[in-house]
Structures are given as C-alpha cells and as structure tokens.
Amino acid sequence: MESHHARIRVRYAETDQMGVVYHANYIVWMEVGRVEFCRASGLSYREMEQDGALHLAVIEANCRYIAPARYDDEIDIETRIEKATTRGVHFVYLMRNVMTAQKVAEGFSRHLFLDHDLKPIRLPEQFYSQFGLSSPQAL
C-alpha cells in the first residue's frame, strides 16, 4: 500500500488556552493514522496482538509543527511506511487541514516488533505483505 488517509475532526478538549491543538495530540493523531493504515492493509491491531503474538513498540517518535490546527478543523492524516525490515517498521505522517490543504504537522515513528513477552522478534512471515516485505520463498 502506498499511503492511507484518515480524517479526524479537532475536538474542543484537544485545544489549549490559546485555542490551538495541544502539541501532544499530534502524536495521538499519528497513532490514529497508523492504526487505520494497518486496518486498510488487512491488519487489525487487535488480531495482530492477540492472535499473531506481534506487538509494535514505539522506539522513536518525532513531530514537526508547521501551522496551528483549531477546534472543529477537519484534519487529514496521510500515513505511509518509509521503511520496513524483519525487525521493525518506520512510519511517516503528513497532517493537513482539509479545508485549506495547509500542512499543519509532519512526523514519524519507528517501531520494533515484539512478542507477547515484549521480547524483540523477527516479523512472522504471515505479516510480510502488510508491511511491504517480500516472502523469503519469493526471492
């Protein structure tokens, strides 16, 4: 999958005293984008964690704030995989105001694949296609 778009509407509770979105909420929006990206590629986080014994631990996250988002703005969160290996995945995010198309923030998150005991593992082959990896048998 090239990229996926998810939309959210800024809630009043997400804004600060200045009337703009509080900075930590952008990280939450990145998670919304990531979960919806996975769902669109056929990978439910719930199933992945419960049935597949695969967890994605955030090992790094970054957000660059470009323009303020305000209460009731509709925000498009574009999410794509920058890089995936059998050990982890790097997602990138672009957040834009739907009405103006103005970029409000961009960021990334890096994740390590873990098992149920939170030990690092190699990505099980059953998940290769969702993360854009080729099966070893296909090589």
What residues are annotated to the active site? 16
3 state SS of 113: strand
Token pair recorded at residue 123 = 């990505």
3 state SS of 47: helix
Token pair recorded at residue 80 = 């794509």
For residues 110 and 88, give the distance between their C-alpha atoms in angstroms, rounded to a whole number.
Answer: 7
H or E segment to which residue 109 belongs: strand 103-114
Q: Which amino acid appears at position 54 of this protein? A: L
